Amino acid sequence: MGACGTTGPPTANPPKFYTPSGLALDETTNMLWIADTGNNAIRSIDLTVGTLAYYTSPTQNATTGVAAFMGSVWASDANNHRILFKNGAWKVIVVIFMPDFV
Q: What is the pLDDT of residues 40-53, one digit of tens each?
A: 889 999 999 988 88
Q: What is the model's pLDDT at position 2?
A: 36
Q: pLDDT digit string (tens) for 25-44?
A: 999 999 999 999 988 889 99
The phi and psi torsions of 99 (rounded to 5 degrees) equal -60, -25
Q: What is the pTM of this model?
A: 0.75
Q: pLDDT digit string (tens) for 56-89?
A: 878 888 889 999 998 889 888 888 888 888 887 6
Closest to 49 (Cα-Cα) out of 6, 3, 8, 17? 8
Closest to 28 (Cα-Cα) out of 70, 88, 73, 86? 70
Q: How far apart are CA 98 and CA 102, in angstroms?
A: 9
Domains and CATH numbers, the chain: 4-95 (2.40.10.500)
CA distances from 14 to 6, 71, 84, 85, 87 (A): 7, 23, 23, 23, 24
Q: How far apart are CA 11 and CA 78, in angstroms?
A: 29
